A and B are shown apart, each in its own frame.
Chain A
């Protein structure tokens, strides 16, 4: 049975108050969204191969985030807190998922090219979530706010305005933080994973 968005909200709040059982309720929900999205991708990928139609995934992703992080039942005063917990949850579950795939170093990237029929390892365009998670921890040590900007935007799927609301800063500050944080993280990931291939 699909839980209501009220239930999801309650679990998120419970988890942020230290209730680990709530996390057990939440993890399968994120995985269910992953499964659903993956299915849609594969269907679209087949269409792309046949007709050369490029994927349009923004709407799909927004829907999925909305199902997981629905702030409509949350009172305005608690929203910032709610978004922050939700982003943390997404980070935790998605990074764990990436780690559990037990990538043999370049495995994932290689499969990416599989559709192109090439004997290659390819540097995937997608960032390595596990390495990014580590780098964010390193960033937090000397610039906590930028690390949170990335957590909220990249993992939590929040807009610039929502992120600004959570952090109680101006949207322009979020944009500046985001830009520098991205450069720093990219530099850091280059150093850690090198070629990624």
Chain B
């Protein structure tokens, strides 16, 4: 880019921004007078303008401090994991790569047929690794279920039967589960499709489908929502209930992010894929005895309160059917459109939530 050319781009960019969105195209066509390259440059910058609102608005010091915090958290988790895996004592060259990289050691760690590559995450239900299957060779996600060693034989059978049902779910909107197994040390694990994407709310905020007044944003959010509904409807028809639907369990994979600089033109929703994660796992992990009632022994709710239906909050497993997912979908739709949760549950304890849900029921 020559400075002279850049001055042209700059002048047209600011002039276009002073006009209404629907007048910009005509203005540029006129102002560029047939210089299609110039028009293309200005237009792709204008498209970035909408997305760039929050870009680098967080000071670099904060960005770096977050990296540092992740490094801390990661090295802590690595040490814990190393101890769990029976490696050497924490800190003493625990068989893990440098903290922060998330990479596991050069000494391969296998679980079943899967070689652990690195840790992707950790949550209430277990630890997730990127792993490499040996045969056929492919990258997968491997989730080790927490408390798996405490499960008795009957529960193991249930666990495996459910996993087989899940393994039959084949839908582009559902992260496929390949296998459930049990490691030599008795740890239960799932093998699933490795999904590349962004959590739903991060996606809508990051791509700035914000400004809920704009009809096109609402339409695109609704299109995403419909894709989620299709996936869940498919599973319901096959008798599988998710039970822990929430935005964090829904990833958006946007192909238009992928293909480099030219991708900016017309990133249409049609190239956007939705993947629902952890389908039906809530039921299976409940079977490990920690929370069939929805309440763990510590009296804490399993699952995510804002998205839990009243019957889930009350904790009666027999009552839970597809309607629990439909309830969660309603909350997600609300959040997609209003960018907040329908109920303020921040300061609500579990018994209160239960009462509130009963109150809600009695109004119906």
Contact = CB atoms under 8 A, between A and B. Distances in A.
A59 B17 CA distance: 32
Contact of B71 (A101, A150, A195): A101
Interface residues of A, number: 68
A107 B61 contact: no
A197 B121 contact: no
A187 B260 CA distance: 9
B68 A120 contact: no
A118 B277 contact: yes
Helix, strand, loop or mixed for chain B's interface? mixed
Interface string A153-197: 011010000000000000000001001101111111011001111
Contacts of A34: 61, 64-65, 68
Contacts of B72: 38-39, 42
Nearest to A107: B102
Contact of B248 (A37, A39, A118, A157): A118
A28 interface: no
Interface stretch (B43-51, B161-169, B219-227, B289-297): B43-51
B61 A180 contact: no
Given A120-B195, A122-B197, A129 B60 contact: yes
Give the size category of B's interface with A.
35 or more
B257 A123 contact: yes
A132 interface: yes
Interface stretch (B1-9, B19-27, B80-88): B1-9
A102 B259 contact: no
Contact of A33 (B61, B198, B249): B61
A76 interface: no
B124 to A, nearest CB: 6
Interface in A57-83: 57, 61, 64-65
A69 to B, nearest CB: 10
Nearest to B124: A117
B67 interface: yes
A129 B60 CA distance: 8
Contacts of B175: 119
A126 B66 contact: yes
A53 B346 contact: yes
Nearest to A42: B69
B261 A187 contact: yes
B59 A61 contact: yes
A187 B124 CA distance: 37
Interface string B188-216: 00001111111100100010000000000
A180 B45 contact: yes
A154 B122 CA distance: 31
Nearest to A95: B60
B100 A190 contact: no
Contact of A120 (B48, B120, B124): B120
A29 B63 CA distance: 17
A115 B121 contact: yes
B69 A94 contact: no
A101 B100 contact: yes
24 contacts: A94-B60, A97-B68, A101-B67, A104-B102, A107-B103, A114-B121, A116-B123, A117-B125, A118-B195, A119-B120, A120-B121, A122-B251, A127-B55, A132-B56, A150-B56, A182-B49, A183-B45, A183-B46, A183-B48, A186-B52, A187-B45, A190-B263, A195-B257, A195-B258
What are the 3 tightest A-B residue pairs by CB atom distance, in nearest-first order? Answer: A117-B123, A119-B141, A191-B261
Given A57-B62, A122-B198, A186-B55, 10 more contacts: A37-B65, A91-B60, A107-B118, A119-B121, A119-B128, A119-B142, A120-B195, A157-B60, A187-B45, A195-B257
Interface of A: 33-35, 37-39, 41-42, 45, 51-53, 57, 61, 64-65, 90-91, 94, 97-98, 101-104, 107-108, 110-123, 125-127, 129, 132, 142-143, 150, 154-155, 157, 176, 179-180, 182-188, 190-191, 194-197
